[in-house]
Structure 1
Amino acid sequence: MKPVNLQLLSFLIFLPFVISSLDVRLPTGILRGITANGTERWLGIRYALPPIGDQRFKAPVPVTKRSNSIIDASQFGNACPQPEDASLNAPIKEDCLFLNVFRPQNTSSDAALPVLFWIHVRQYTTGAASNPLYEPSQILARSVAINKPIIFVSINYRVNTFGFLASSLVSKEDLNAGLLDQRLAMQFVQDNIAAFGGDPTKVTIWGQSAGAGSVQAHFIYPPSKSLFRAGIGNSAVGPFKNSPDASTFDKPNKPFSRLLANTGCSFGPSALECLRAVPFETLLNISNTMVLGTLNMQLWQPAVGPPGSFVPERASRRIKANDFLHIPYIGGTNLNEGKSFSSTLQNLGLSGRAEDEAFVNFIGHLFIDNSTITPDVYRAFLRMYPANDTSLDAPFNTGDSLYDRATAWYGNEMFLAARRLFVGHASALQPTFAYFFTEFIPGNDPARGVAHATELPLLFGHIPEVASIETDFAQKWQEFYINFVNDLNPGEEWPTFSKNGGSLLQLMRDNITVIRDDFDAAKTAFMNTNKILNEFQK
């Protein structure tokens, strides 16, 4: 996906101690916001104490100290620790638990607008709310244009080693700290969004990829107190591509064991204390090396812990037991989800047995612990995704047999099957809307097709000139989501999934239409059997 060129933000400069219309008083201080791109915004709002020192790897702690001080809210907060990436648009620091609030210009503090709460993407290992792609001014402008204004909130949460450190040594209260960060940010919104003109009873959480998986995680593992009333998941991962028990990470050559070896710490009661004492830059460099050396950077995945932890059992078990929040949900997938994750197999020139072995090796290395995958499962996938099958990932089949097999398998296993499992159960219990995005955007790489995340420039309104033909379609999709945030229904054109035995809305320019959810059905049904879910630890 090409970089998105955005208009530079223009900042208002306020003299010290001058009362501003963009001052918002919270118990923890007076936030001084800015106006930019037709929106009012408060950036870099601290929602938790710095997770540093003794708080490294621990559950987030809310900010409770009361203050009357003026706090500059004109710049994004630090991005959480991860490999350097220009798209972060912020410094990388361990002190990174910040959120941002955007509202339409001239919104009154008593407007009580619905809230769209964005959880950023990228495999639970990278990403930040400060990425310019997630700048929401076009979404807010569209909401005003159709007389359904909303407030937009985006958050940072800890990722990779700093947010998802997993081991039998990590206390149940601290496991999956990144998900706990998200939950605390939602609690902050409940406590404070009214001061910005938002309605805490009308919060919709939205994410894409790992962000969408996070949305599902909050449906499946909710807190005792309601924090949102609906969810949207673009290309959700189900909620996790792989979720072994925390103790699995302790095994030889697994992430926690390797982290100890790389830092010189030893396994035992003092291991976490030792890791907390490692200088930040040292730990960051070690973590980054491990992340970048892992297929698709998926070094850590949310782990299953004991009772009392955020994830006390596998998600698939709860989904099949209908044990999740029964509130409105939108979820869908893209035509070619797997292409972005299978590039390591492209142009290898293999055939015959060597090609099959490379395909099996690719599947096995996508999981933290592949020792649970039995040979008959690999054989089944070799039969389902045969060599030189031109139907795989069509109409964007490349003719590169190994790559096409991997992309089709990955898209079905990690995204389509995951969507069908959750939506299939949810649709009988709550208003559920499903989609299939099939629009190839001009300027994108045909070898990637309708790839993972290619809808985000449309939804956020950052459409390059070469794809300007997509503007009307993009605005229509925005309106579906804005309607849902306001009314818990995307509109008359989009039927619930339960109607007509499983109806999807095909999202394609000039061809938004209802289609049957029956493609690759036998393959995803196999992937959603208890055998596969258990062996893949989902």
Structure 2
Amino acid sequence: MVLITVALTLAFTFRGLFNSASAIRLSAVPPSINTSSGIFCGAVNATSRIESFKGVRYAQPPIGDLRFAAPLRLTRSPDDIQDASNFGNACPQLGLSEAFTILYGSPSLDAEISEDCLFLNIYRPQGTLTGSRLPILVFIHGGAYSVGAGSQFQGISLIQQSVANGSPIIFITINYRLYITGFLSSSILPPEDLNAGLLDQRLAFQFIQDNAEAFGGDPDKITLWGQSAGASSIALHYLYPTSDQLFRGAIQDSGAGTILNVPSVEQYDQAGKPFDLLLTLSGCQRGNSTLQCLRNITIDNLLNMAQAIDNISPQAAPGQSTTWLPSRGPEGSMIPELPSVRTSSGDFFRVPLITGTNLDEGTLFGLSFLGPTAGPSADASIFNTFVVNRTIDPTTVSSSTVGQFDAFYPAKLPSTVSNSSLFDRLAAFVDDFHFVGPRRLLTDNLAVKQDVWVYLFEEAVPDVPAELGAFHGAELSFLQILNRTVPAMASLSSQLVDFYLNFTVSLDPGPAWSKYTPSTRQVLQLQHNNVTMIPDDFRLNETNFINSAGVDHEFGR
């Protein structure tokens, strides 16, 4: 097929697609990229003029003896030619929930599920050349480390806006192991294999850096962007970095710092705790053959056992979806100490950062409590149990700590929106404990020596229940990576996307957004027709208590 090259000035008339004509080539031939894992033939969307390469394998399949193990680099021939027009498999995970559908606007992953799931997806402007050296934005999906896939998020509109701005980028999404296959925790695992899901992400970053020039990206201009567990993952990558600098900036939506507890592997081994329960359910004996026994279990049976343990474990009360989370191990593991200790020490890899939270982060986690309950006494008991179940071992949480939270978030007349006092106080507690507090701990320590921009997103999504407000993940509907549109809020959407694109290109979101400093403590309020800087001074007593060393240690954060 004849290659058709079209001059830049004739091919595009809107605001300059690239800064130089040498960066673009239009072709009638399906695009291909030659990577260390093979040659991938992608597809072009003729309407959007976006090229995509889906299902690009970045690691060996984590199956057989590699189940629960750190991912391995590919050893296959780079001459292999592979179709990249369809998404690769999503990783085994917890069943999708009502919250998942609200969060992402769809109950579908758009992919099959299999343990052979370590794939990534690349989106770039049509005609991008090898060596174009475009900035790269890598998205890490959330889902409490237990659900989701890179296939849910697409970069077509995002890249179109970058092209229209005259500063095109490449957008990449990744899969990583989830739930029990990604976060099995026990002292029986070799330290270097703990937190396999996070190690998957790290290897994906390395693959992207190694192959950036091959698909037209700049290996020195990689920005990570994550939401929820994806954002928390990014925090763990710069708190516990490798010797290689795999990214130069980060964007964290609703997940800065230690949003979840990070239990020690020894806690998982204790009687009645997740790994001990897994041995009981599986019939595997503790010893040299334990891991091999667990690897011999079919994936469906393994997932059923993991979910049964969720239902048994105290910390799996409503609002805490899984017991299988990042854990803390000995020296040689990725996370050898509490994240709050590492954050407070300031001894971590510092990068320019955009981070923030939504106004109503906690509402999505309190859906099961929405509505009438048995009365004030029952509500108080449920609230206190919910608080202590933020950790894998509730006995570590003192009664005085529970009492202080009870005082900070008292029972009151229900709001006119939710009509549930319990829902309101749980939502407020989750908002501060899992999101605003950790964000403040991180930004106050990071902003001393690094550029930081902080936001507070306050806009609701039109097509969800009103009582959810600006819920956890609401901003994703405005960031043009979901199959959900908010036409009534197009102006806010475009402005928010521009902030992220500017940061990806120049590590600065633009003059409308002032930096956060410990002295000014200003955050950007994101609201339709009201984007302005405001003081970061709401609920300080609550978050100061949450960020105290004693509370962080009680909850293992």
When normalised by structure 1's length, the TM-score is: 0.92
Which residue of structure 2 aligns with residue 55 of structure 1? 66
Which residue of structure 1 aligns with residue 53 of structure 2? 42
Question: Is the counterpart of residue 355 in structure 1 residue 376 in structure 2?
Answer: no
Runs (4+) off by over 3 Å: 18-21, 83-86, 288-296, 461-465
Matched-pair identity in %: 40
- Following the alignment from structure 1 to structure 2, what is the Cα–Cα distance between the partners of residues 209 and 401? 26
Pick aligned residue for 2:458 from 438, 445, 450: 438
Matches within 5 A, 1:63-462: 63-85=74-96, 86-131=107-152, 134-236=153-255, 238-291=257-310, 294-295=316-317, 296-388=320-412, 398-460=418-480, 462=482
Deviation at 1:84, TM superposition (A): 4.5
Deviation at 1:206, TM superposition (A): 0.6
Shift of the 292–157 alpha-carbon distance from structure 1 to 2, 3 Å rule, reads farther
- Kept in 1, the 8 Å contact 2:259–2:438? The answer is no
- Following the alignment from structure 1 to structure 2, what is the Cα–Cα distance between the partners of residues 461 and 220? 27
Deviation at 1:461, TM superposition (A): 5.4
Which residue of structure 1 aligns with residue 5 of structure 2? none
- Kept in 1, the 8 Å contact 2:176–2:201? The answer is yes
Deviation at 1:303, TM superposition (A): 0.6
> What is the CA deviation profile of residues 131-170 of structure 1, one whole-angstrom value per residue up to 9, with x for unaligned ones?
1xx1110110110111111001110000110000000111
Shift of the 404–19 alpha-carbon distance from structure 1 to 2, 3 Å rule, reads closer
| Structure 2 SS opposite 1:492 | coil
Question: Is the counterpart of residue 505 in structure 1 residue 524 in structure 2?
Answer: yes
Stretches of structure 2 lacking an aligned partner (at least 5 in a row): 1-26, 97-106
> What is the CA deviation profile of residues 375-414 of structure 1, one whole-angstrom value per residue up to 9, with x for unaligned ones?
1111111111111166xxx8x8624111111110011000
- Root mean square deviation of aligned Cα: 1.8
- Following the alignment from structure 1 to structure 2, what is the Cα–Cα distance between the partners of residues 42 and 174? 29
- Kept in 2, the 8 Å contact 1:329–1:431? The answer is yes
Deviation at 1:109, TM superposition (A): 1.9
- Following the alignment from structure 2 to structure 1, what is the Cα–Cα distance between the partners of residues 52 and 432? 39
Question: Is the counterpart of residue 29 in structure 1 residue 45 in structure 2?
Answer: no
Query: Which amino acid in 1 is paired with 2:78?
Result: S
> What is the CA deviation profile of residues 311-335 of structure 1, one whole-angstrom value per residue up to 9, with x for unaligned ones?
0111000110001212100100000
- Following the alignment from structure 1 to structure 2, what is the Cα–Cα distance between the partners of residues 195 and 515? 43
- Kept in 2, the 8 Å contact 1:423–1:432? The answer is yes
Deviation at 1:21, TM superposition (A): 4.9
Query: Which amino acid in 2 is paired with 1:55?
Result: L
- Kept in 1, the 8 Å contact 2:346–2:445? The answer is yes
- Kept in 2, the 8 Å contact 1:112–1:197? The answer is yes
| Structure 2 SS opposite 1:248 | helix
- Kept in 1, the 8 Å contact 2:310–2:321? The answer is yes
Query: Which amino acid in 2 is paired with 1:484?
Result: F
Query: Which amino acid in 1 is paired with 2:147?
Result: T
| Structure 2 SS opposite 1:331 | strand
Query: Which amino acid in 2 is paired with 1:122?
Result: G
Deviation at 1:259, TM superposition (A): 1.4
Which residue of structure 2 aligns with residue 13 of structure 1? none
- Kept in 2, the 8 Å contact 1:245–1:303? The answer is yes
Moved more, 210-219 or 443-452: 443-452
Stretches of structure 1 lacking an aligned partner (at least 5 in a row): 1-17
Moved more, 217-226 or 359-368: 359-368
- Kept in 1, the 8 Å contact 2:257–2:439? The answer is yes
Deviation at 1:239, TM superposition (A): 3.4
- Kept in 1, the 8 Å contact 2:229–2:255? The answer is yes
Deviation at 1:530, TM superposition (A): 0.5
Moved more, 187-196 or 81-90: 81-90
Moved more, 513-522 or 318-327: 318-327
Query: Which amino acid in 2 is paired with 1:375?
Result: S
- Following the alignment from structure 1 to structure 2, what is the Cα–Cα distance between the partners of residues 503 and 331? 12
Shift of the 225–316 alpha-carbon distance from structure 1 to 2, 3 Å rule, reads same
- Kept in 2, the 8 Å contact 1:160–1:291? The answer is no
Query: Which amino acid in 1 is paired with 2:85?
Result: S
When normalised by structure 2's length, the TM-score is: 0.89
- Kept in 2, the 8 Å contact 1:20–1:32? The answer is no
